[in-house]
Amino acid sequence: MPFTIAIDGPAASGKGTIARALAERFGFHHLDTGLLYRATGVKGGDPIQAARTLAEADFGRKDLRTAAAGQAASRVAAIPEVRQALLDFQRGFALREPGAVLDGRDIGTVICPTADVKLFVIASDLVRARRRAAELGADVDAMLMQLRERDARDAGRADAPMIRADDAVLLDTSEMSIEDAIKAAVGAVEARLAG
Ligand code: CDP
Ligand code: CDP
């Protein structure tokens, strides 16, 4: 059986950075599931049709990391048929040998409820806004408002809301360097591999 690592948490908490590092460290595949929703959100037209017909070219767009794409993603992500259309690909990816790391909002709860390791990564709103503002060259206050709006929509939706799975390890990176956050995550994986 492949080894599966599920990483969830709000925007700019550091989950993608940790997911990439774990994948590299353990030789696992990595899927940033947010990209599926971002690509669906920016494609235009009927979002359900967009999700059902996502193709390679949709992921080559340069505007997927923008704040606007993040907002568009969180709007289409509340549509159950959109989530359903993206489900099989994610579940299939999680089965890749020798293992896979998936990061998003519902990995530990819906996509991979039996994952070997689950992490729920958080950081204070202000720290997250500062991080994302630095990445995008944007204003911290504007980013704070945007992230809060997106988090509220993601946590409040009826279908697959962003929530910590009961068995997920909580990792607060507010005061952590990237190196320390990665170390803590590696520790959680090694403990599971050993035991
Ligand atoms: O994937 P997610 O949106 O949760 O966050 P990310 O893309 O991994 O991290 C957002 C930004 O915060 C990146 O620029 C990271 O380098 C930075 N970061 C940080 O400064 N300290 C951490 N402990 C983790 C991430
Ligand atoms: O990197 P960041 O955390 O800012 O965002 P992302 O992971 O790229 O996700 C963008 C949006 O997609 C989120 O705000 C969610 O609305 C949605 N999403 C989701 O609903 N379920 C997932 N597994 C991943 C993302």
Ligand 1 midpoint to CA 12 (Å): 5
| Residue 26 scores a pLDDT above 90 | yes
Relative to the CA of 10, which ligand 2 atom is closest? Answer: 3
Does the beta carbon of 4 lie inside 6 Å of ligand 2? no
Question: 74 labelled as ligand-binding?
Answer: no
Ligand 1 midpoint to CA 63 (Å): 18
The CA dihedral of 54, 14, 151, 89, to the nearest 10 degrees, is 20
Chain-wide mean pLDDT for the chain? Answer: 97
Of all residues in the chain, the percent with pLDDT exceeding 90 is: 99
Does the domain at 3-194 match CATH 3.40.50.300? Answer given as: yes
Given this model, what pLDDT does residue 195 score? 83
Question: 11 labelled as ligand-binding?
Answer: yes
Residue range 148-161, pLDDT digits in tens: 999 999 999 999 99
Given this model, what pLDDT does residue 2 score? 96
C-alpha dihedral sign at 136, 156, 111, 9: positive
158-182 mean pLDDT? 98
Instruction: Compute the distance between CA of residue 127 and CA of residue 173 in angstroms, rounded to an integer.
Output: 9
Instruction: Compute the distance between CA of residue 52 and CA of residue 90 in angstroms, rounded to an integer.
Output: 13
Does the beta carbon of 33 lie inside 6 Å of ligand 2? yes
Taking the model in full, what pTM does it have?
Answer: 0.98
| Site of tokens 């920016």 | 42
| Residue 109 scores a pLDDT above 90 | yes
Ligand 2 midpoint to CA 78 (Å): 11
To test the pocket of ligand 2, the residue of 7, 88, 154, 163 to mutate (highest count of ligand atoms within 8 Å of its CB) is 154
Task: Tell me what ipTM this predicted complex has.
Answer: 0.98
Nearest CA to 183 out of 18, 27, 24 is that of 18
With left for phi above 0 and alpha for psi between -120 and 50, is residue 15 left, alpha or beta?
alpha
Question: 16 labelled as ligand-binding?
Answer: yes
42-54 mean pLDDT? 97
